[in-house]
Amino acid sequence: MKGITLQWKAGAEEDGQLLKTFLREKKGISKKALADIKFKGGDISVDGRHVTVRHVLKEGEAIQIIFPPENVSEGIVPVDRELDIVFEDDHLLVINKPPNLSTIPSREHREVSLAGAVVHYYKKHNIPSTFHAVNRLDKDTSGLMLVAKHRHVHDLFVRMQMRQNIERTYTALLEGKLDKDEGTIDLPIGRKSTSIIEREVTPNGQEAVTHYKAERLFSEASLVSINLETGRTHQIRVHFSHLGHPLAGDTLYGGTRRLIGRQALHSSKIKFLHPIENKTLEFSTPLFSDMEYAIKTLEEGN
């Protein structure tokens, strides 16, 4: 099975440039990826001729690289489960993840995961890749997930995340009525010393910045829109719990299940520059029915 293929045309600015420089500096292909192409069954060609990265480019030459097929992790069990694919091209998937589905296999849920469903989808459609999540969602968090279809585009997305060039918007239902309609929570988060799962606000933690704006305020709850500058584990859940407004349904961080049976958190929007096509993409998805029902219950009670 042939791996993912990328193609370019050398322009005037590339004339006389080493192919290695073009691939590393202009196209962001890592040293490891080039080594994999060389030693694991990939290919580099110019005008249809096999070349090495020491080739000197000429204007107008057609450059093609083929990445080697990727091996699926042994820990991911393919599972025949329908995916709600919002967008797909040769390089990425945008998937609307339902609640009650782990992103990757865990000790408690080894056989059913979004990763397993994606790997099964790849196998069915002869896509020579393994699972590369750009953003991960907790098992009970719903909404948009960005998945890279090959290691190179995943590397590019990771760099974009480091530069905060992937905009993520979440919708959450908090317990209690917020005092302020909008604000920024800038509090470091680290692992809780007494738990392997929980996180907490701690002076020794990693920087974590959460921006929020109230969309609707009820007498007993707040519906908020959230944008993240950082992506710490459980960041939204920990920050709002620390403020005394845990997410509805989030029993791990002090919430109750009076309104909903899971943490009321939904990845509602995502916006980014396509790392290969160089065009801006933006997607949104509505809340799942359980969050809608919880909001309706609050409306009827007000």
CA atoms of 156 and 144, how far apart (whole Å): 19
- 80 labelled catalytic: no
How is residue 279 annotated by DSSP?
-
* Element (DSSP H or E) covering residue 219: none
Distance between first and last Cα of the chain: 59
In the set 36, 43, 90, 138, the catalytic residue is: 138
Q: Nearest-CA neighbor of 95 among 274, 267, 294?
A: 267
CA atoms of 214 and 84, how far apart (whole Å): 28
How far lies 67's CA from each of 5, 49, 145, 149, 199, in Å?
6, 16, 24, 12, 38
How many of the other CB atoms lie within 10 Å of CB of 189?
A: 23
Annotated catalytic residues are 138
